[in-house]
Amino acid sequence: MTKARTEARTRRRGGELLRSIHAAVLAELAEVGLGRLTMEGIARRAGTAKTSLYRRWASPHDVLLDAIHDEHPEEAASPAADDLRGDLLRALQQLVAWMQTPTAAAAAAIVAERKRYPELAAALYERVFDARGGRFTLTVLRHYAAHGQIDARRITPVVADIGEALVLKHALDADAPPSDEQLAAIVDEAILPAIGLGLDRPVTAR
Amino acid sequence: MTKARTEARTRRRGGELLRSIHAAVLAELAEVGLGRLTMEGIARRAGTAKTSLYRRWASPHDVLLDAIHDEHPEEAASPAADDLRGDLLRALQQLVAWMQTPTAAAAAAIVAERKRYPELAAALYERVFDARGGRFTLTVLRHYAAHGQIDARRITPVVADIGEALVLKHALDADAPPSDEQLAAIVDEAILPAIGLGLDRPVTAR
DNA sequence: CGATTAAGATACGTCTCCGTAGCTTAAATA
DNA sequence: TATTTAAGCTACGGAGACGTATCTTAATCG
């Protein structure tokens, strides 16, 4: 008697199976967390056999690293027009969009537990954060500084981090990314004043 | 023959034992993470019997909640002198000091995994973040606004978060809290400009 | 001091995951 | 089509944690 289970007759190989496994490990990470990632769990979710995983990877973390490596988005930084405020806003919107990616969720989990799994964190920085520029608003700020529209001396490490830091903090506090209005407030009330382009009064009534 | 193990002759009870268990669960959390907290691990580390834990708590998370509840620091906000910059700096220093606390490490772990363990996160906010004011720089800003030294309309939610957000981001990026010089840069380059007290040129050469 | 309370020690069956072995069989390749 | 390659399936002993039960005994209280 053949098995005749629900698993049908088709046997996936190579790329198709690989993509399924990558999706499975990211989903598993989101559900059970980094500390409970397990070969059995990944195999279950991917609908494959544990032995097939062990043929390619030695541990759940190795599977995860491969998944992160292959799924990273790799989008370019925003090209700057002649609209500093709009470009800053778009840069933060790109950041928010990326934050809702499965890869970003995985990255957050890894960063949060970096003390426990330093190799994972190191690989993450190497393969994701360094690969994509990382810096969202900094790209914009440098562009306008290069064109003499803002004082280059104002673009300190602290100033370059303001936008990202506030988006991050908002996401942590509210458990949701900031809205476009909140992004605008970040630009108007924090970033622009820091580069010497503050308005005389708050833009958002409050 | 009695056991004569290293565990000596003294049997701890009540408060002493409880404190040991609280320390154990925080240490265990730091070492293995929230997803791998285990009654056996806590018992081992506290040098007590698993059965003694089950008599009081139903799960590792319950032990952890008790520990957080009892260990929270509860320090008061900085009293404001007539030195806005200095008070902001001191507020951020208080934040940095708290971040190095075991309770803060536990809080970070819980916040990072709040999607997975929402009851834990809820309890954390209730028992820690609400209990202590939470807001470090906000207390200072409100004080000076009340005394008319800064424009109250400038103190928006975004502006109130700038200091904390940058400290947090620095800690995440560098895996270490910011130094006093870096705190000063945060105050001078981000917070003060946002409340309309920016200097004409950057304070820290860079 | 005697009685009561709470902690320590041990043991148990059950689960889940570990990593590996062996075999079968579908898919790709020559 | 025949062969090779890679995936699926099942099973195993080992480890660690689960939650509970039982018994002993130290600490505390009346």
A41-99 pLDDT, tens digit per residue, is 999 999 999 999 999 999 999 999 999 888 766 665 666 778 999 999 999 999 999 89
State the average pLDDT over residues A8-19.
79
The pLDDT-based confidence of B127 (bands split at 50, 70, 90) is confident
CA nearest A111: which of A95, A123, A93? A123
Domain extents in chain A: 14-71, 84-194
Look at residue B133 in the predicted model and tell me its pLDDT. 61
The single-letter DSSP state of residue A201 is: S
On the question of pLDDT at B140 being above 50, the answer is yes
Radius of gyration of chain A (CA): 21
Name the residue with higher pLDDT: B6 or B77: B77
Q: Which numeric CATH code is attached to B84-194?
A: 1.10.357
Residue B108 to residues A124, B22, B90, Cα–Cα distance (Å): 20, 17, 22
Contact A185, A162 (CB under 8 A): no
Cβ-based neighbours of B60, under 8 Å, separated by 6 or more: B25, B37, B38, B39, B41, B42
How many angstroms separate the CA atoms of A181 and A89, rounded?
10
Nucleotide C9 C1' to residue B67 CA (A): 25
Look at residue B16 in the predicted model and tell me its pLDDT. 85
pLDDT digits (tens, 9 = 90+) for B63-122: 999 998 887 666 666 667 789 999 999 999 999 998 998 888 999 999 999 999 998 998
Q: Residues of A with CB below 8 A from B130's CB?
A: none
Q: Residues of A with CB below 8 A from B30's CB?
A: 115
Q: Is B148 left (phi over 0), alpha (psi -120 to 50) or beta?
A: left
Contact B32, A35 (CB under 8 A): yes
CB-CB under 8 Å, B35 with A32: yes
On the question of pLDDT at B1 being above 50, the answer is no
Look at residue A133 in the predicted model and tell me its pLDDT. 61
Count chain A–chain B contacts defined by CB atoms under 8 A.
Answer: 129
- Would you list the DSSP string of A120-135? HHHHHIIIIITTS---
CATH superfamily of A14-71: Homeodomain-like (1.10.10.60)
Q: Which residue is nearest to nucleotide C19 (CA to C1')?
A: A54
**For a pLDDT cut of 90, what percent of chain A falls above it?**
64
CB-CB under 8 Å, B202 with A198: no
CB atoms within 10 A of CB A192: 21
Contact A35, A113 (CB under 8 A): yes
State the average pLDDT over residues B13-39.
92
The pLDDT-based confidence of A13 (bands split at 50, 70, 90) is confident
How many angstroms separate the CA atoms of B35 and B31, rounded?
11
Burial class (CB in 10 A: 0-12, 13-18, 19+), A137: buried
Which B residues in the span 176-195 are in contact with A, Cβ-Cβ below 8 Å? 182, 185-186, 189-190, 193-194
Look at residue A5 in the predicted model and tell me its pLDDT. 40
